Structure 1
């Protein structure tokens, strides 16, 4: 096992599902210990809402220039025990398996090494703010304000989410929306007084069809009803039901339209009521001319390193890059390890991608 793989293994062995604040904080401890005594200012922001801490690193010349912002998250989707069960840490050829390795501990580790090396070698020409967050996988509820405050006035934002489709990086992401719908009908004995009942599940079925009918692939808008709950026992007309809904949009205007349409839904079944809450969680990240120029710069650097850098079309998954891009900060995402299987039991990174992608991050820190 290479030294890089050994170091990444240490991070992956420390499991850190988003809701496991102790595990996430142990990851923050590993990062803090790694940068101690290296001229890097550290600020630890205590977790809240039962979630883990965030860690902010700062270094580079204090010249008054706009800083570079680097964002990595150390929480994963995999529950504690995954590494000792269905997804053990292992290497098979070029594939390096482990929970959270691809999304995104390997990318976070690479970026930290690039940051440390650039600082030690005197290559940083402007300040760098590097934020490790604890809650990206659950929508960044406690880190969004921190990210947006750090992004204001930044020269660029570099996001170490995993690469896509053979090492391609991300220059555009759909915006994400989240809604919850509660439905109330009228309970009744299903055999004796069926006609008096008003089924919340029947109304839910109407709403599922209406919601999913808002999907427009050509426009880049999708709606997914991911959860439907309701009812008690089979001989009672169900009084209550609830839906959890995910939406994805390709533009701010589409997001505003989707939110308006969902919140305006009304019952189809007489004597039932709807309560709907939610809205946009992550704004769309669009490939503006500034983003395109930053990508062209990165592509030229990659060519000097010795590989072809490409980007993917707008992807449906969100990240903290959505927040920085929406503020007008030129943003590059997907700068982490190449691989596949994020959020699955086949999650893996490619060992061969570590060195060249770490070199690209270092070159960006040196030249932006």
Structure 2
């Protein structure tokens, strides 16, 4: 008995040493992401902020804060579970119309699109937030306030984003800001989970509106600039057999055995190729199947998630999964003593493209310049957001935050605090105006000219 503590200590030391060694092996040098910006973009932002109309819009955002808070609560309390965003879409469309958009419509997949015409319309800039939340139907989404903090599922991700771009539209209208380019304010469906970015994929489909640059608004704060899309492939793999009694049918194919082999072969090979280069991840996240301890299962399935900002690396890991599944299928069928062969169904349930908008691109440079103007150090990031799709299509795109601070995303106790939240709207407006161009005829004291709109 006296030897047990010493033995446990030895085991723990061994585990710690092994963990440290593995972590060291998995450490990949990161490419430094500098926030250097060309002076011309700094000058561009300064010229914009000197405009009376822009100054007026900045003040409008502050004056509108009580209404913006109410809009935020109203939208949060309209459930918007995956694939069931319709009710929120209808309300958001009505809000956009009331805010002054020239035309508002809900498309075939329930995206809300509000168009604000530019003077020439030679260019189109999208400003977008997503309508859906991760929470299933029946979730209590009533907003609760404790002090200055708002609590509710989805209040930050991404209902705050929807509210922010709605406020930007209101500010542009009240300050009579006109742009050269057309602007599309979009509430998109299908950003979360198995939604697979279907809203933005539909928006940017062949035959859809031509989009020249894309500004997604997701998350809080005013420092992050996501310009690299973290792509993902997701699969549901199901092995199927006849099933039967564990004793009486012994010798038939066993789907669980094949699944176990597939997981082993996949993770063993994936481990080798993901220890170097761009960070690439893989996870066997969900498994299921079987009916009883004394029954050979008739099916066994798993769901796998793999991610990388490198399309090449992502495809490499994908191929390893396909090979592992086929190897496991062949080996299990080779072991059978009776009955039909095992079959397998490999279904892709998620495909988020990856890629990046280069740091030197005008949109990224402008986002950096705007962030620095607000006296905040830009954080250049990689993430999986709606910007993935335009980035993969070669459309300059970034994702920026909506202001304020928050936490608990995807949890029932999600929260958001209005800590100078108006700065989020100011930042969105400035990035938008650098891309869309401020019409020289803009006059904060003038009534909008219908000939322009």
Q: 1:32 aligns with which of 90, 93, 98?
A: 93
Aligned to 1:58: 115
CA distance 1:160–1:234, change in 2 (3 Å): same
Report the CA distance between 1:94 and its aligned residue.
Answer: 4.8
Structure 2: runs of 5+ lacking an equivalent: 1-64, 334-341, 436-453
Q: Secondary structure at the match of 1:34?
A: helix
1:249 has 2:308 as partner = yes
1:136 has 2:198 as partner = no
Report the CA distance between 1:107 and its aligned residue.
Answer: 1.0
Alignment check: 8 A CA contact 1:41 1:58 kept: yes
CA distance 1:143–1:158, change in 2 (3 Å): closer
**Quick one: distance in 1 between partners of 2:171 and 2:317?**
45
CA distance 1:217–1:11, change in 2 (3 Å): farther
CA distance 1:71–1:256, change in 2 (3 Å): same
**Quick one: distance in 2 between partners of 1:295 and 1:228?**
41
Q: Secondary structure at the match of 1:117?
A: helix
Q: Which has the larger radius of gyration?
A: 2
Structure 1: runs of 5+ lacking an equivalent: 48-52
Report the CA distance between 1:74 and its aligned residue.
Answer: 0.8
Aligned length: 351
1:204 has 2:267 as partner = no
1:349 has 2:419 as partner = no
**Quick one: distance in 2 between partners of 1:275 and 1:244?**
12
Alignment check: 8 A CA contact 1:173 1:286 kept: yes
1:170 has 2:226 as partner = yes
Report the CA distance between 1:14 and its aligned residue.
Answer: 1.0
Aligned to 2:375: 307
**Quick one: distance in 1 between partners of 2:355 and 2:363?**
14
Alignment check: 8 A CA contact 1:60 1:126 kept: yes
1:44 has 2:93 as partner = no
**Quick one: distance in 2 between partners of 1:351 and 1:239?**
53
Residues 223-270 of structure 1, C-alpha deviation per residue, up to 9 Å, x if partnerless? 111221111221112232111111112212112223333223323333
Aligned to 2:387: 321
**Quick one: distance in 2 between partners of 1:93 and 1:212?**
47
> CA RMSD of the aligned region, Å?
2.6
1:297 has 2:351 as partner = no
TM-score (norm 2): 0.71
**Quick one: distance in 2 between partners of 1:28 and 1:146?**
15
Residues 310-357 of structure 1, C-alpha deviation per residue, up to 9 Å, x if partnerless? 224323xx2221001111222110332442221112312231142101
Residues 186-223 of structure 1, C-alpha deviation per residue, up to 9 Å, x if partnerless? 534223443x1322112111212233331525432211
**Quick one: distance in 2 between partners of 1:160 and 1:326?**
18
**Quick one: distance in 2 between partners of 1:70 and 1:280?**
24
Alignment check: 8 A CA contact 2:129 2:187 kept: yes
Moved over 6 A (4+): none
Aligned to 2:237: 181
